[in-house]
Structure 1
């Protein structure tokens, strides 16, 4: 297809050159006859030459118009190709951005899960050591659930709830405790509220109810502690 277009373009150029040369030659001949007139000339060569020249010029102009239309058509085809290429580039760009966003989401999910896992382990270690800082331990477990819900995993949610219930039971039974240690109650309560309002599909209705029940117990213990 491209070869045919090139051959046609070469042929068009040759025709244009031939017509242009012919027009120049006829113009020169016409000038020669116009400069030399003889009264015995019976045939009007001047009129014939002018007519031929006019016809050639008209043909040349028509050919130029035809060529211009062809060039415009080619330009239109080129513009369509460019538009198609831009469309393909935009689609490829969107695909790459989607892949990057997906990788970013996976990375954030993994980071949140690891943070939640770390908080769970910290709370579990302190609880195993029979620490008296019950609210600090409870805070670790709340943080664990908070970050796990920001990931794509639901691991550790139920074990964390079980440990939270054990922590509150131990706190209610304890006579010696250190509840003020290393806990920002306002931040803790804010995270609790966010967990309750979480729309994560990994947080089952039963787990949400258990968490809200434990939150009620926690707030009762804290209010009682505040009155002491």
Structure 2
């Protein structure tokens, strides 16, 4: 449509120019002619219209290219978030395959699954299944720490397990900030079931930490550490 308007304007300019030449041939003496003035005005307006159409056409091309670049940028960033979520999930899944032979990687598994959920949320609501799978893995980790805390001598285990428990606290600002973003996303998109599961997991994590730290304080007082 823009190109058709441009072509019509060019044709009108050519016709106006021809008309102007025929109205004012060089052999005629100069004089005041109303018809000539009207034709001149028409030619001027046509020229202005042609220039305006040309400017609009060029600016439209620029705006269109800008919109395309913005859309491509959004798609790239969303895909990047999804791929990062997959990477975090894969890292945690690989550790879970050898969970019976490691003593200090449970907190890292939980953290990697947490970051996977964060990136899946940044991608959008289409990743609900990915979020659900990550939550299921996180449940296993929380259950491990709960079972460990129930053991009578949990506070005097080797340094690897105690370090793993310490890592499970996640007190860094990035974790706290991203946790808020996850809660907001799930609530805003009405993912009620996933929101409840995530909140329950975090409540269980904090509770098992509270119980363990309480036992640890009592143990240190009794043992004189």
On the 8 A contact 1:127/1:167 being kept in 2, the answer is: no
**TM-score if structure 2 supplies the norm length?**
0.70
SS at match of 1:18: coil
Alignment-derived partner of residue 28 in structure 2: 18
> Which of 140, 143, 146 is the matching residue for 2:115?
143
**Which 5+ residue runs of structure 2 have no aligned equivalent?**
1-10, 149-153, 217-225
Q: Deviations over 1:53-76 (max 9, x none)?
A: xxxxxxx1x22x653443233222
**Residue 162 (structure 1) shift:** 0.4
Cα distance in 1 for residues equivalent to 2:15 and 2:86 = 69
> Which of 134, 138, 145 is the matching residue for 1:171?
145
Cα distance in 1 for residues equivalent to 2:74 and 2:203 = 33
Cα distance in 1 for residues equivalent to 2:178 and 2:168 = 16
Q: How many residues align?
A: 186
Instruction: Return the structure number with greater helix share.
Output: 2
Alignment-derived partner of residue 206 in structure 1: 193
On the 8 A contact 1:149/1:203 being kept in 2, the answer is: no
Cα distance in 2 for residues equivalent to 1:142 and 1:202 = 18
**Residue 19 (structure 1) shift:** 2.2
SS at match of 2:205: helix
**Residue 96 (structure 1) shift:** 2.1
**Which 5+ residue runs of structure 1 have no aligned equivalent?**
21-59
Runs of 4+ with deviation above 6 angstroms: 200-203
Determine if the alignment matches structure 1 residue 96 to structure 2 residue 83.
no
**TM-score if structure 1 supplies the norm length?**
0.69
On the 8 A contact 1:116/1:148 being kept in 2, the answer is: yes
Cα distance in 2 for residues equivalent to 1:180 and 1:110 = 34
> Which of 20, 29, 43 is the matching residue for 1:9?
20
Greater Cα radius of gyration, structure 1 or 2:
1
> Which of 124, 127, 131 is the matching residue for 2:93?
124
CA RMSD of aligned residues (A): 2.8
On the 8 A contact 2:88/2:116 being kept in 1, the answer is: yes
Q: How does 1:174-193 map to 2 (within 5 A)?
A: 174=148, 175=154, 177=161, 178-181=164-167, 185-186=171-172, 187-193=174-180
On the 8 A contact 1:134/1:167 being kept in 2, the answer is: yes
